[in-house]
Amino acid sequence: MENQIIEGKEPKERILNAAASLFASKGYAAVGVREIADLAQVNVSMISYYFNGKFGILKEIILRYFQEVRQIYEQTWAKNLPPEDALRTIVSELVNLIKNKTIFCKVAITEMPFNLPEFSDFKAEVVRLHIDYIKQGLKLIELFVDDPKYGSIITPAMISLIFSHFLFGPLIKKVWSVETDDEYYDLYAKTISTLMLEGIMGIKKLIEQNNQGEQK
Amino acid sequence: MENQIIEGKEPKERILNAAASLFASKGYAAVGVREIADLAQVNVSMISYYFNGKFGILKEIILRYFQEVRQIYEQTWAKNLPPEDALRTIVSELVNLIKNKTIFCKVAITEMPFNLPEFSDFKAEVVRLHIDYIKQGLKLIELFVDDPKYGSIITPAMISLIFSHFLFGPLIKKVWSVETDDEYYDLYAKTISTLMLEGIMGIKKLIEQNNQGEQK
DNA sequence: AAATTAATCAAACGTTCGTTTAAATTTTTT
DNA sequence: AAAAAATTTAAACGAACGTTTGATTAATTT
């Protein structure tokens, strides 16, 4: 992930892209505003001018991420697909989103587990803002396995599966090198969705076996 | 994740625990040494005395994590289990490790995607140090699906599955609340390993179907 | 008990942090 | 063309950063 000088475009977009690149590489808190300004080739006070401060950049990135994800969900629901196809489509579209906007998505997802004070409030607000389609996503899982306990396990699992290559892939890269072209990401999406679906079917079977065991 | 004042024990352990708690909550870079010292009830210069500085704490945490994981792998190989049982055991043991040492494991795993300069060298060294059992872990996946492309997808997927509840669970908690007792984590381990195994079997089938398709 | 080592402490160091301020410059509007 | 608005700039602010330093205290060794 090279931190190339961000050229062209408007200063605001340059700041956003520079910051995203740096946040994805080092994490939000480890990046200073002067570093962002240098990379974006702007004056440091422009960060306050355009984004009301450093945190404003992070907010913008995360809002954009959630907006993109929302769009994918909404477009998939609009197709009225059967559950399996819906899940495959969502996974495929999400992988595509992450592939095309790796940096933005990585920033959003890697800041999720942290509870910085100012960030907590914002995170709660974003979840509230998007709660409708998050719930619809959960309902999709419930079409397969209708039990909150399993749902609460499977939903985070699905998120992390989709992101797994982008978060942990580089670490494993030390062991082998695989060409990550478009074909790879197609295979990735197919593999992840297969893993999800077959896994969920296996869990469903497990539950049914347990229920039969309990009826005897 | 409450940042309780860390009492008792030796100062060194108190610093370690305080730091781990704060790193897990906010990320390494967002935590200052004075905050750690306050929480651990020590003088700030003791961080340099005992750990040679802030980064030394992070190194210690990550080394301990990898050591624990290594132990799990080694104990599992020593049992000479069939592949399915081996995978289930590893998942179950890893989930248990993370449950019991959530904070330490979370710190280790959430810093993985970042490339802080001093951290990159250390990360590369840790991977080199543990490369033998990392490779054995990859071989376990290859017993199911013997193709580097799939292996390079499935292995990060397995890591992220195991951690999914601990990273993204709190976010989903806004939607529903589930009692996370010991029974929950047993179910979690069983669900994750089932999802993995059934998913891998599904991918295996997919590959075989593709190979049959290519032979015609 | 005295000497040595280890642990703890307060203060300081040099640097960096994000934000603010007011002036200068550029762009847009009248 | 002049006025207003927007953008950019350099400098400064107050705070925080991680580490170092040397003194003090406590623990261990002789």
CATH number where B29 lies: 1.10.10.60
The answer to whether residues B36 and B19 touch, using CB atoms and an 8 Å cutoff, is yes
Asked whether residue A42 falls in the same domain as residue A99, the answer is no
Structure-token match 């990859």, residue found: B138
B116 CB-to-strand C distance under 7 Å: no
- The confidence score (pLDDT) of residue B2 equals 44
- The confidence score (pLDDT) of residue A1 equals 41
Q: How many domains does chain B have?
A: 2
Asked whether residue A13 falls in the same domain as residue A92, the answer is no
Of B75, B85, B64, whose CA–CA distance to B17 is shortest?
A: B64
**CATH code (residue A89):** 1.10.357.10
Mean pLDDT, residues A71-88 taken together: 93
Q: Distance in angstroms, CA of B101 to C1' of C2?
A: 46
Out of B20, B36, B52, a domain closes at: B52
CB proximity list for A87: less than 8 A, separation 6 or greater: A140, A193, A196, A197
Mean pLDDT, residues B21-48 taken together: 96
Residue B5's pLDDT band, with cuts at 50, 70 and 90, is low
Asked whether residue A40 falls in the same domain as residue A132, the answer is no
Positions in chain D where some atom is under 7 Å from a protein CB: 7-12, 16-22
Which residues does chain A have within 8 Å of residue B116's beta carbon, measured at their own beta carbons?
A: 26-27, 30
Asked whether residue B37 falls in the same domain as residue B66, the answer is no
* Token output for A164: 């797994």
Cα–chain center distance at B36: 23
Asked whether residue A168 falls in the same domain as residue A150, the answer is yes
Of A139, A150, A152, A157, whose CA–CA distance to A204 is shortest?
A: A150
- Residue B178, SS3 per DSSP: coil
Domain residues for the domain of A171 are: 59-215
- In order of B89, B193, B194, the CA distances from B23 in angstroms are 29, 28, 32
CB contact (8 A) between residue A203 and residue B195 = yes
A57 CB-to-strand C distance under 7 Å: no
In chain B, the percentage of residues whose pLDDT exceeds 70 is 93
pLDDT digits (tens, 9 = 90+) for A38-49: 999 999 999 999
Q: Which residue did the predictor score with more confidence, B211 or A215?
A: B211
* Token output for A98: 């992450």
CB contact (8 A) between residue A153 and residue B112 = no
Asked whether residue A152 falls in the same domain as residue A88, the answer is yes
Asked whether residue A162 falls in the same domain as residue A94, the answer is yes
DSSP-H helix ranges across B130-147: 131-142
Asked whether residue B196 falls in the same domain as residue B103, the answer is yes
pLDDT value at B190 more than 70? yes
| Mean per-residue pLDDT over chain B, rounded | 89
**Least Cα separation, residue B192 to chain A (angstroms):** 8
Q: Distance in angstroms, CA of A192 to C1' of C20?
A: 49
Asked whether residue B77 falls in the same domain as residue B42, the answer is no
Asked whether residue B72 falls in the same domain as residue B141, the answer is yes
Q: What is the ipTM of this complex?
A: 0.91
Asked whether residue B65 falls in the same domain as residue B127, the answer is yes
Q: Which residue did the predictor score with more confidence, A47 or B137?
A: A47
- In order of A16, A21, A95, A100, the CA distances from A6 in angstroms are 10, 10, 25, 17
pLDDT value at B43 more than 60? yes
Q: Which residue did the predictor score with more confidence, A149 or A66?
A: A66
pLDDT value at B216 more than 60? no
Residue of chain B nearest A114, judged by CA positions? B26
Residue of chain B nearest A155, judged by CA positions? B172
Asked whether residue A40 falls in the same domain as residue A122, the answer is no
pLDDT value at A37 more than 90? yes
Q: Distance in angstroms, CA of A46 to C1' of C25?
A: 15
User: How many interchain CB pairs under 8 A, A with B?
Assistant: 206
CB contact (8 A) between residue B148 and residue A115 = no
Out of A28, A52, A76, a domain closes at: A52
